[in-house]
Amino acid sequence: MADDMTQKPFLGFSRSASGRNWRMRPADSDVTRAHIQSLGLSEPLARALASREILPDQGESFLNPTLRALFPDPSSFMDMDQAATAILDALQAGESIHVFADYDVDGASSAALLVRWFRHLGAELPIYVPDRMKEGYGPSAPAFDRLKASGADLVITVDCGAAANEAVAHATDIGLKVVVIDHHMMREEPPKCLAVVNPNRPGCTSGQGNLAAAGVVFVLLAALNREGRQRGLFAATPEPDIRQWLDLAAMGAICDVTRLTGFNRALASLGLKSMSGWNNPGLAALMKVAGAELGEAKSQTVGFVLGPRINAGGRIGRSDLGASLLSTQDAREADMLARELDELNRARRDVEADVTEQAIRMVEATGAHQDESACVLVAGEDWHPGVVGIVAGRLRERWRKPVVVVGLDPVTGTGKGSGRSQQGMNLGRAVQKAWEEGVL
């Protein structure tokens, strides 16, 4: 049962600098005691594990995660075997395979993982990233039309596509084969295509719902290796050692703010160790332009130095810059891309600060943040859709309730918005329910 320490001041303090109550997380006292006895931990550290719902038999793997102990069976993911089969069928048939990626860090990392696996086998994988301003999020019929016109036979969507039923149906109608690799919430009925791999797909029993898309793609690479061995694909070319790309899997896990437990924790922990060698030219170039030392990579390095710069291209610049940077092996190209992303990140900060200030003034002038409403929704003309998500996060931290920020196009009247939620409120499910009920 949980102890009663949650009501006591934490380290002698009862309130934070902003005046909020500061309490310890509840923790099961029996689990805390078990961690002390089995792992030899101090009471505060054992309690920290218990408060994160780490059970006694999970403590060792939480503190010292390994791929050997935690790597899931790829076949436990619904449609994973079908995805590996379809991709290798297309590769061996000499078909043109393209990857369709989201424009954030997780999408860029996912695309780069696939590009590097294909490149190891002597094949280049073109990347398509939609323009945030012109195309919006995820696959669309026009995007698939462009891919078809460019000669694509098979499209692998990463970090998107699981809810794009209509767009994927269009792809099928025009003769495009599609494999979806995603981790987002999706409808009960999946898109009609060759495979939909998503640990959050209804009916998937993998138990890996906390993975980012890059983590799912990393498991796909293991599935491709296994299928490739069975086909004798590596008789002439050595089997790709996917561990060399753990840094990319860690990028997705950390920047998508996923729950770092189980296999996902192993990806993040081992990925940071791999990253510390700075063998990826793009990541090394970003560290250089940021003025950071190429020392031990930490979660702060990923979340506050690398991530924002990679995201900047998709937010207010060229959407494919991040994926291109993480995919390249050319140091000169990496340096050029890193400089461009760094400049865009500076511009992004200015735009974000301006929209945040405007939104705070609008809401606090009406007192909408202080009423009993379930969330705050604020909209403004010409607010850049690339920063509304960041602004929503800032306002959620300020007001401690779910926030949705919408940028309105003054010409068309169309709004593009993004939301950030508080613990206990699944905003994604709420939006999905509103869509099902016809509200959205």
Rounded to an integer, what distance in angstroms lies between the CA atom of residue 308 and that of residue 294? 18
Average pLDDT rounded to a whole number, residues 207-234: 98
Average pLDDT rounded to a whole number, residues 52-76: 95
Average pLDDT rounded to a whole number, residues 339-350: 96
Q: How many CB atoms lie within 10 A of CB 177?
A: 20
Rounded to an integer, what distance in angstroms lies between the CA atom of residue 45 and that of residue 76? 33
Say yes or no: domain 367-436 is CATH 3.40.50.2300.
no
pLDDT of residue 424: 86
Q: What confidence category does residue 23 fall into, taking pLDDT thresholds of 50, 70 and 90?
A: confident
Helix %, strand %, coil % of the chain (to 5): 50, 10, 40
pLDDT of residue 136: 81
356 Cβ partners below 8 Å, 6+ apart?
391, 394, 395
Q: What confidence category does residue 308 fall into, taking pLDDT thresholds of 50, 70 and 90?
A: very high
Q: What is the pLDDT of residues 352-400, one digit of tens each?
A: 999 999 999 999 999 888 888 889 999 999 999 999 999 999 999 999 9
Q: How many CB atoms lie within 10 A of CB 225?
A: 19
Looking at every residue in the chain, the average pLDDT score rounds to: 94
Answer whether 140's CB lies under 8 Å from 334's CB: no
SS (H, E, C) 184-242: CCCCCCCCCCCEEECCCCCCCCCCCCCCCHHHHHHHHHHHHHHHHHHHCCCCCCCCCCH
Average pLDDT rounded to a whole number, residues 15-42: 88
Give helix 246-255 / helix 213-231 axis angle, nearest 10°: 150
Q: What is the pLDDT of residues 90-111, one digit of tens each?
A: 999 999 999 999 999 999 999 9
pLDDT of residue 305: 97
C-alpha pair distances (Å), 58 with each of 62, 199, 253, 266, 270: 6, 21, 20, 13, 17
Rounded to an integer, what distance in angstroms lies between the CA atom of residue 100 and that of residue 191? 15
| Angle CA 320–284–296, to nearest 5 | 130
* Residue 195 identity: A
Q: Give me the half-sphere count of Cα atoms (radius 13 Å) on the Cβ side of residue 44.
A: 3
Burial 75-112 (b: 16+ CB within 10 A, else e): eebbbbbbbbbbbbebbeeeeebbbbbbbbbbbbbbbb
238 Cβ partners below 8 Å, 6+ apart?
none
Average pLDDT rounded to a whole number, residues 217-239: 97
- pLDDT surpassing 70 at residue 4: no
- pLDDT surpassing 80 at residue 240: yes
Percent of the chain at pLDDT > 90 equals 82
Q: What confidence category does residue 19 fall into, taking pLDDT thresholds of 50, 70 and 90?
A: confident
300 Cβ partners below 8 Å, 6+ apart?
none
User: Identical fold at 74-341 and 367-436?
Assistant: no
pLDDT of residue 21: 79
Which of helix, strand or coil describes residue 181? strand
Answer whether 285's CB lies under 8 Å from 338's CB: yes
Beta-strand runs (E) in 73-194: 97-101, 127-128, 154-158, 177-181
Q: What is the pLDDT of residues 146-157, one digit of tens each?
A: 999 999 999 999
Q: Which of 47-51, 85-89, 146-150 has the lowest mean pLDDT?
A: 47-51
pLDDT of residue 295: 95
- pLDDT surpassing 70 at residue 257: yes
Residue whose entry in the numeric block shows the structure tokens 């995805």: 83
pLDDT of residue 14: 79
| Angle CA 145–91–107, to nearest 5 | 60
Q: Among residues 212, 145, 217, 219, which one has the least CA distance to residue 184? A: 212
Q: What confidence category does residue 1 fall into, taking pLDDT thresholds of 50, 70 and 90?
A: low
pLDDT of residue 96: 98
Q: Among residues 157, 70, 61, which one has the least CA distance to residue 107? A: 157
pLDDT of residue 18: 73
Fold observed for domain 74-341: inorganic pyrophosphatase (n-terminal core) (3.90.1640)
Q: Among residues 422, 420, 400, 351, which one has the least CA distance to residue 380? A: 351
Q: Which of 57-66, 135-144, 261-270, 431-440 has the lowest mean pLDDT?
A: 431-440
Which of helix, strand or coil describes residue 146? helix
Q: Among residues 303, 341, 301, which one has the least CA distance to residue 319? A: 341
Of 431 and 9, the one with more pLDDT: 431
Domain extents for the chain? Answer: 5-59, 74-341, 367-436
Rounded to an integer, what distance in angstroms lies between the CA atom of residue 127 and that of residue 260? 28
Q: How many CB atoms lie within 10 A of CB 325?
A: 28
Joined tokens for residue 185: 């919430």
Answer whether 325's CB lies under 8 Å from 341's CB: yes
